[in-house]
Amino acid sequence: MQQLTYKEEFIRFMVENGVLRFGEFTLKSGRKAPYFINTGNYKTGAQLARLGAYYAACVHDNGLQADTLVGPAYKGIPLAVTTAVALYEKYGTDVNYCFDRKEVKDHGEGGLFVGKALENGERVIIVEDVMTSGKALREILPKLKSAADVEIAGMVISVDRMEKGLESGLSAVQEAYKEFGVKVYSIVTMADIISAIEKGVIDGKEYLSAMYEYRKTYGVD
């Protein structure tokens, strides 16, 4: 039996944990999609440990170098923590982590961030679950820049939907680079997911025609 790549393992992991589902779903955008991603189904220690390993593999494989991982509140917080642990355990890379407060604290240590105090010239990687509109990036960037003159080494997400937005012909990932100069790296892309179905890594061949059609209508490369 052919050994799976970590990307294929991750896709199977999402399906097994009910994070990636196939069928007919109406998205917030109003589009009817043949798949749905619900990262809220990650809720156990075992899931987070494996999730961190996949994020760490993405960081490592793309040669990303950083001093600190930043997890935008709230979903990014456990992701930054578990990725930092996995980077140390799998690759011997010890990085800091921090996350932003939703409201500025004016007592105790105060500040916008909890964890590593950011410094000028520090290289940071932003860790998020998925990117739909780029809202999390828009909110975290001004906070980072007000804390210190940091260098954004990149942003890591779990899935790149490779889907154009409602107002432009660009995907959220492409918009992030065009608007902010931030390169976004994903563990897997929608093309990887389609390939996994085609290869039989996961079930779902009955949804392939709908996936192809959806990609033809809304997809970007």
43 CB-contact burial (10 Å; exposed 0-12 / middle 13-18 / buried 19+)? exposed
pLDDT class for 166, splitting at 50, 70, 90? confident
Residues ≥6 apart with Cβ < 8 Å to 180? 137, 141, 152
Q: Bin 23: left if φ > 0, else alpha if -120 < ψ < 50, else beta.
A: left
pLDDT at 107 over 60: no
Give the rounded percent of residues in the chain with a pLDDT score beyond 70.
Answer: 95
Query: Global pTM?
Result: 0.93
| Domains of the chain, first to last | 6-218 (3.40.50.2020)
What does the pLDDT read at residue 110? 55
Q: Which residues are catalytically annotated?
A: 105, 107
What does the pLDDT read at residue 112? 85
Give 32's strand partners: 26
Pairing of β 96-105 and β 111-115 = antiparallel
What does the pLDDT read at residue 27? 85
CA dihedral 26, 28, 31, 32 (to 10 degrees): -10
pLDDT at 106 over 70: no
pLDDT class for 212, splitting at 50, 70, 90? very high
Mean pLDDT of 68-85: 95
Give 22's strand partners: 35
Mean pLDDT of 57-84: 96
What does the pLDDT read at residue 156? 98
Residues ≥6 apart with Cβ < 8 Å to 40? none
Mean pLDDT of 34-50: 95
Alpha helices (H) along the chain:
6-16, 45-61, 76-91, 135-147, 172-180, 190-199, 208-218
| Span of 8-12, 76-80, 122-126, 132-136 with lowest mean pLDDT | 132-136
Mean pLDDT of 37-60: 96
Q: How far apart are CA 205 and CA 8, in angstroms?
A: 16
Give 108's strand partners: none
What mean pLDDT is reported for the chain? 92
Give the rounded percent of residues in the chain with a pLDDT score beyond 90.
Answer: 81
| Span of 15-24, 138-147, 161-170, 185-194 with lowest mean pLDDT | 161-170
Q: How far apart are CA 55 and CA 22, in angstroms?
A: 23
